[in-house]
Amino acid sequence: MIYNIRKIFAILSLMVMGSALVYNCEPDPDSLGEQLFLDGAANGVESSYDLIAYNIKNNDSIRSDAFKLLDLISSSSTSSRAVLGAFNENQFGMQRASYFTQVRLATYNPDFGTNAVVDSVVLVVKPVYRTDSLKATTTDENYIYPDGNVDAKKVVSTYPITKFGKAKKSLTLEVHEVSDFMNGFNDIVYSNKKFATYTDLLGSKEIADGNASSVTITKDSDNSALFTSAAPAVRIKLSNSVFQSKIINKKGQPELSDVSNFIRHFRGLKVSVNNNDGYLFQIYPNDMELIMYYKSDLVDSNGATTRPQTKYAFDLKASNMHSGYYEYDRAGAAIQTYANGNTTTGDLKLYAQGMGGNSIGVKFPVATIDKLKELYQTNKAAIISAKIRIYTDKSTWSNTYPKPASSDFTIVQRDKGTDGKETTAFTSDYTSLGTTFIPVRAYDTDKNPAYYDFTVTQSLKDIVESTTNVNYSNKYFKIDLAQFLPNSSGALAGYTYTSRSFSPLRTVFVGSDPTNADNDTTVTPNEIKLRVTYGTKK
């Protein structure tokens, strides 16, 4: 039924409007041609036109503070992301990601009891993992729970961490105490900001197998829970002595009396890797935990003294200042040769990378617009569909790293006004079609090359079919490997709300490179093109 409605709509549009425009709202690709030719209503033609595509250098820096890493618009902890790890390859070079966070007390002026001594301190890091890929479950029926030597059962479920890079490499996480004051929650921080830390390690943990585990410990006597981790995590043991001296021993002193004093006393944590190569992985910063286990004297009604273990959970959540710190080493990488930012004729290869790496810029050349205007004015050719088609680079990006999906891109339109100020907005297709619009479609992502179509129909029509001359010399599209983020109702929050600050993706695409033709002169080169479908009334 839907298919027939589409065909009827196409016929009526062409018959009623004649030589006027016909605007197609993202039809299925396999039915587009049939719509144009149905019952001989119109002649449909698809043609390719040149584009100017170039690299936009972002100076390997991007805002990476709490307002960019934490999902403050939909209040979903799983939408908040940060990145850890390191990855080095010959196209983009080395990229390493660390994470900073302030720490707060759960309550101020805490009472740890008499003769309190730290048993252990654990930082729990919860990575994004493959929920459908349980690797193993191990059960220890003879486990002895150390606090009280309780007979128990321990069940460990192991899941692979979602990685981008060399998955079989091992990484070692390190935790340092921050020595710089990290300012406040509302302060803007960029990803090249490195807060100073003390030299001594608070703790470290090797992720040799690239997995995260959830643990459940139950008492044998009544099957009650002694310990449960809600989600797979990496648990890093931290220094007992530091928390003894800086937390337990400061009981009743000004350092623990309020937020302002505490974040200047214990200034925060840095989580990083000591590797230069391996993989990048995302974590849920709002789900991180810092737990201190300690014992203190407890006198019962009979005057007997015991020392039960107490758990104290610090606050690492959204009220703290958070930031991502990203390092780059591009020396010897191909990006240094090809990413030239040529806005006149375009670059040969396009290097898109999240977390402050390059964006892609795309402009309409004067010759392309002139040809389309002539078709519209002389032949009364109405634009049905316009797409920017871009291919991954077959020669340089032939690897096992995951290719982007349709949802892994953002596209916005930019324009520089007469005052010299640049404005950014959703594309005209976004604003005219709303939430049902699908801006990007991915094809052959399991092959080499893959390709992607970005719909820019209305944006092109605004220039070609306008009754006045539109100045498009400073207009261009900006494409990034990121996702637009939703608000609490599920709609797009705005063009500034994206995952660029924590997207580990990277891909090399073909710009204006006519040599990428598979050595077959009959094959159209895979250079980026504007593919326009237009219809003319018979």
Distance of CA 254 to CAs 110, 259, 314, Å? 11, 10, 18
**CA 348 to CA 340: how far, in whole Å?**
9
- The rounded distance, in Å, linking the Cα atoms of 181 and 488 is 33
Segment 254-306, tens digit of pLDDT: 999 999 999 999 999 999 999 999 999 999 999 999 999 999 999 888 889 99
Q: HSE on the CB side for 74, CA within 13 Å?
A: 21
- The answer to whether 127 and 287 have CB atoms below 8 angstroms apart is no
Question: Using alpha carbons only, what angle is made at residue 70 by residues 69 and 76, rounded to the nearest 5 degrees?
Answer: 140
The whole-angstrom separation of Cα 480 and Cα 408 is 8
Euclidean distance between CA atoms 210 and 173, whole angstroms: 12
Query: What type of residue is 458?
Result: Q
The dihedral sign for the CA sequence 330, 331, 337, 343: positive
442-470 as b/e, with b when 16 or more CB fall inside 10 Å? beebeeebbbbbbbbbbbbbbbbbeeeee
Q: Decide: 246 and 178 in contact? Cβ < 8 Å.
A: no
Reply yes or no on whether the pLDDT at 13 is more than 70.
Answer: no
The residue count of the chain comes to 538
Residue 336: which pLDDT band, with cuts at 50, 70 and 90?
very high
Find out whether 117 and 294 touch, Cβ atoms under 8 Å: yes
Read off the DSSP letter of residue 169.
S
287-293-297-299 Cα dihedral, nearest 10 degrees: 50
Give residue 74's pLDDT. Answer: 64
CA 389 to chain centre: 23
Place of tokens 């019952």: 39
Strands (E), 260-355: 269-273, 279-283, 289-299, 305-306, 309-313, 322-329, 349-353
Question: How many whole angstroms separate alpha carbon 321 and alpha carbon 99?
Answer: 11
pLDDT above 70 coverage of the chain, percent: 88
Q: pLDDT per residue over 358-403, tens digit each?
A: 999 999 999 999 999 999 988 888 899 999 999 999 989 999 999 9
Q: Which of 46-60, 144-158, 507-521 has the highest mean pLDDT?
A: 46-60
Nearest to 123, CA basis, from 246, 318, 283: 283
Buried b (16+ CB within 10 A) or exposed e, 476-500: bbbbbbbbbbbeeeeeebebebbbb
Taking residues 444-461, report their average pLDDT: 96
The model's pTM is: 0.87
Higher pLDDT, 435 or 354: 354
The radius of gyration of the chain from alpha carbons, rounded to an integer in Å, stands at: 29
The larger pLDDT score, comparing residue 486 to residue 205, is at 205
What's the confidence (pLDDT) of residue 139? 92
d(CA 133, CA 203): 29
Query: Who wins on pLDDT, 33 or 388?
Result: 388
- Quick one: average pLDDT of 234-259? 97
- Provide the pairing of β-strand 529-537 with 322-329: unpaired
How far apart are alpha carbons 352 and 58 in whole angstroms? 11
Look at 24 and 403; give whichever has higher pLDDT. 403
